[in-house]
Structure 1
Amino acid sequence: MSYQTLMNAAANRRSIYALNKKLPISRQEVQQIVEHALLHTPSAFNSQSTRLVVLFGDEHEKVWQFVENTLRAIVPAESFAPTQERINDFKAAAATILFFEDQEVVAGLQQQFPAYADNFPIWADHADAMVQYALWTTLSAADVGVNLQHYNPLPDADIAKEWQIPANWTLRAQMVIGGIAAPAGEKTFKPVEERLKVFG
């Protein structure tokens, strides 16, 4: 495989919000992609602190019902329609992948390496984000539509109770996946020269 293959996969990765339940690959293939990303994504001190929960079908829709329920408690009813539309879009997808960080692992590293204690929570989030990117890019290469959400901590308690999530797992993101019902819009870029410096 050439490096151009990886570059093309990165360029084709997009946020797809118009999703349906018709995954172009099997649930088993989705699970294989998830397992591969979890195994082969690097982490600081090889901490491997990222934890994932994959939810298909009705289990996936429960996540977004929990989010809807919590949002109804804080968003005025008269202005809830746009929020409801957004939640319905998520429910229309095929699955949700929940991303967690195991705080027990983080705390253990803080105790073992006190000089770096302040950095371990940051590095844990870096590792989590890299798993997200690895998964997102691979799923996109398989023609699966993906978008990433961050409604935590709103549904955290309901999610933890429903799927018996350990108390030391902290929810970081919700990845929504499904068949692509409509393509992403045009992507814009800030000038690279404003964001990159090269020396030597």
Structure 2
Amino acid sequence: MSIVDSIAKRRTYYQLDKDLPVAEQEVVALVEKITELVPDAFNMKSARAVVVTGSRQDALWDAIYDAFGGKVAREKIDGFRAAYGTILYLYDTDVVKGLQERFPLYAANFPVWAQQANGMLQFSIWSGLRDLGVGANLQHYNPVIDEMVREMFDLPASWQLVAQMPFGGIVAEPDAKEKEDIRQRVRVIR
């Protein structure tokens, strides 16, 4: 399969269940390998991923609901809770700060570059999951849940939460993507 085919298959799947079509270890191995392979500026290796499954998956989404004091729909949270697991995406601010100190001319760029690398990691894992037949979606309940997640999973204080990716068995396919005139977003200049 080409990378374009892989990217084309990646979609936002909201209707997920705990019926993972592959062994959990295959998902973990994918996350580990892609985390190792995704590039970042100055080879800083700031991206972090935490794979949450089992009863901790359910507890995570119950705690996210509680963190919002009922201000998010329970049905929406229960949709994420119904997934097999969640990948938490973070970056290590200590790594970023260390590079800012070593390379002061680029200091303002390191947080941006860390976010870019994290985005590449998220997208690559998302596409890889789909190649395994696993559905996923990407959520952003941070910064409201940052401290709760750090405490719940005993994560270092320097790990900054960026996104949450529920993943699992695909219950229903999303609607077809609408075609667009890509020339509105891509220009070729000769």
The TM-score with structure 1 as length reference comes to 0.92
Q: Give 1:137 deviation, angstroms.
A: 0.4
Distance 2:81 2:45 in 1: 30
> Partner letter of residue 38 of structure 1?
T
Which residue of the partner structure matches residue 103 of structure 1? 93
2:64 to 45, 52, 67: 67
Cα deviation digits, residues 73-99 of structure 1 (max 9, x gap): 5x2xxxx6xx11100100110000000
Which residue of the partner structure matches residue 168 of structure 2? 178
Which residue of the partner structure matches residue 140 of structure 1? 130
Which residue of the partner structure matches residue 9 of structure 1? 6
Which segments of 5 or more consecutive residues in structure 2 lack a partner in the other structure?
Answer: none
Identity %: 39
Q: Is contact 1:101–1:172 with CA below 8 Å preserved after alignment?
A: yes
Distance 1:153 1:47 in 2: 23
> Partner letter of residue 50 of structure 2?
V
Q: Give 1:157 deviation, angstroms.
A: 1.3
Which residue of the partner structure matches residue 105 of structure 2? 115
1:54 to 51, 54, 62: 51
- Which secondary structure state, in structure 2, belongs to the residue aligned with residue 136 of structure 1? helix
Q: Runs ≥4 in structure 1, deviation > 4 angstroms?
A: none
Distance 2:59 2:51 in 1: 12
Distance 2:182 2:152 in 1: 45
Q: Give 1:189 deviation, angstroms.
A: 4.2
The TM-score with structure 2 as length reference comes to 0.97
Distance 1:154 1:26 in 2: 32
Which residue of the partner structure matches residue 192 of structure 1? 182
Cα deviation digits, residues 129-153 of structure 1 (max 9, x gap): 1010110001001110100000011
2:141 to 144, 147, 151: 151
Cα deviation digits, residues 139-188 of structure 1 (max 9, x gap): 00111010000001121111111111100000000010000001111212
Which segments of 5 or more consecutive residues in structure 1 lack a partner in the other structure?
Answer: none
2:159 to 162, 169, 174: 169
Which residue of the partner structure matches residue 89 of structure 1? 79
Distance 1:7 1:151 in 2: 30
Which residue of the partner structure matches residue 44 of structure 1? 41
> Partner letter of residue 30 of structure 2?
I
Distance 2:180 2:42 in 1: 33
